[in-house]
Amino acid sequence: MRAGARAAMAGAAIALAAPAPAAQAQAEAPRPGCGRTIEEIASGFVSLFYDQGRVREAYETYVAEDYIQHNPHATDGRDAAIAFLEPFYERNPTHRMTVHRVIVQDPYIVVHLHGQTGPQDRGAAAIDILRVENCLIAEHWDVTQPVPETSANENGMF
Which range, of 6-10, 42-46, 100-104, 136-140, averages the lowest pLDDT? 6-10
- Following DSSP, what letter does each residue of 11-33 receive, concatenated? HHHHHTTSS-HHHHHHHHSPPTT
Instruction: Write out pLDDT tens, residues 27-53.
Output: 566 656 688 999 999 999 999 999 999
Gap between the terminal Cα atoms of the chain: 19
Q: 49: which DSSP letter?
A: I
Strands 63-69 and 136-146, bridge-based pairing: parallel
Distance (Å, whole) CA 125 – CA 64: 26
CATH number of 3-146: 3.10.450.50
Is 144:122 a contact under the CB 8 Å cutoff?
A: no
**pTM as predicted:** 0.81
Question: In this structure, which amino acid lies at residue 52?
Answer: Q
Instruction: Write out pLDDT tens, residues 80-90.
Output: 999 999 999 99
Residue 43: Cβ-neighbour burial (10 angstroms; 0-12, 13-18, 19+) = buried
Sheet of 96-105: strand order equals 63-69, 136-146, 124-133, 108-116, 96-105
Q: What percent of the chain lies above the pLDDT cut of 70?
A: 79
Distance (Å, whole) CA 50 – CA 53: 6
- Domains of the chain, residue spans: 3-146
